Amino acid sequence: MKKYPLSFFLVLIFSAFVVSNNVNAQDTIPPCEMDCLPQSPWIPAQLGPYTVPGCPGCSLSFNYWYRYPACGIYKDLQIGEITLSLACLSCPLSIKDFVDFAIDKMILNNPIPKPDTGRCETYWRAINASCWKFFASYDTVLVPCEPSECYWRTLTMCTDSSGNVTYSQHPPFTTPDICYIYPYPCTFVCDEMPQPAPTPSGLEETTNLLNGFSALVYPNPGTDWFNIKFHSESEGQHSIEVFDESGNLITVKDFVKVQGEIIIQINMSSLTSGIYRYVIKHNDKPGISGSFNVVK
C-alpha cells in the first residue's frame, strides 16, 4: 500500500474545508440584503465559465443571486464571488473590469423570464458591492469587501423581433451622499462615485485627533465633495452626523467599521456656503468631531 506524507492529507482536508465554506457561503443571504426580505428570498446560482475578451486564455465563473418578484414587481440580480483562470492575472485588466464583465453576463444569462418578443421591461435591478478584493491566499478569486456600500442600478430589458435580449442602464437607484472607500487590498468598482482626491498639503487640510481616533478633512475649504480620512482601532457600529452653523442636522449615516482606516466622502453640492460640523460616533458615544468650510 502506497504511503502518503502527512502534508498530503493536510492539503486534502484544507481543500475540502475551503470548498465546503464556499458552498455554504453561497447559500446565505448576499452582501446587499436591501428591501423586500424575507418576503422575497434570494435564490443562489452560478454561471460560467465565460471567455474574457482581449485577454488570451482568461475565463471567469461566478456565483450570484436572483429573485422575482421582489417588492411585488422587481426582478433583482446580485453578483457574488468571481473565480478567474490563472491566465487572467497576466492581462492588463482591473478588478473593476472583471466585475463589470461578470455583471453583464449575469444580466443577460440569468433564468428570470425575459420580456416577450418586441417588448421591453423597466423594472429590472442589478446590485453589487462597491468594493472588491482578491480572497486571502487565492489570487484568482474575487470577493466583495466587508463591509461595503451597496450599489443599485435599474435596467430596461428588451427582446427584439429576432429574440435577441439587450439592456440599458439607468442612473443608480440610490446614490448615497456618503460612501466609504476602503484602502488596499479593496478596489472601488462603481462608476458614479468619485474616487478620493489625493491628500493635499498646507492649509487645505485639517487634522483632528481625539480618544484614539484621528480624522483628516480635505480639501478644506472646498466646494462639493469633502473627504474625511478616518482612523481608529475600534470596530463595530459607527455613525457620522453633519450639522450646519445653526446646529441643524443635515445628514446622518450608520456604518460598521473594521480596524484601520477608511475614507468617508460627503456630498455638499446641494448646500450653501458656510461652516459645517461633523461628529463621528462609536456605539452612540461621541468619538471625534471637526468642521469644514463650504465655499461656493
Domain borders along the chain are 29-188, 202-294
Q: By mean pLDDT, which of 93-97, 161-165, 284-288 is the weakest?
A: 284-288
Mean pLDDT over residues 250-266, rounded? 74
Question: Tens of pLDDT along 147-193?
Answer: 667 777 889 999 999 999 999 987 654 444 444 555 567 777 876 54
Mean pLDDT over residues 46-52, rounded? 97
Given this model, what pLDDT does residue 15 score? 37
Mean pLDDT of the chain: 77
Given this model, what pLDDT does residue 82 score? 96
CATH number of 202-294: 2.60.40.2550
| The model scores a pTM over 0.85 | no
Three-state SS string over the chain comes to: CCCCCHHHHHHHHHHHHHHHHHHHHHCCCCCCCCCCCCCCCCEEEEEEEEECCCCCCCEEEEEEEEEEEECCCEEEEEEEEEEECHHHHHCCCCHHHHHHHHHHHHHHHCCCCCCCCCEEEEEEEEEEECEEEECCCCCCEEEECCCCCEEEEEEEEEECCCCCEEEEEEEECCCCCEEEECCCCCEECCCCCCCCCCCCCHHHCEEEEECCEEEEEECCCECCEEEEEEEECCCEEEEEEEECCCCCEEEEEEEEECCEEEEEEEECCCCCCEEEEEEEEECCEEEEEEEEEECC
Question: Tens of pLDDT along 57-81?
Answer: 999 999 999 998 887 788 999 999 9
Mean pLDDT over residues 262-276, rounded? 82
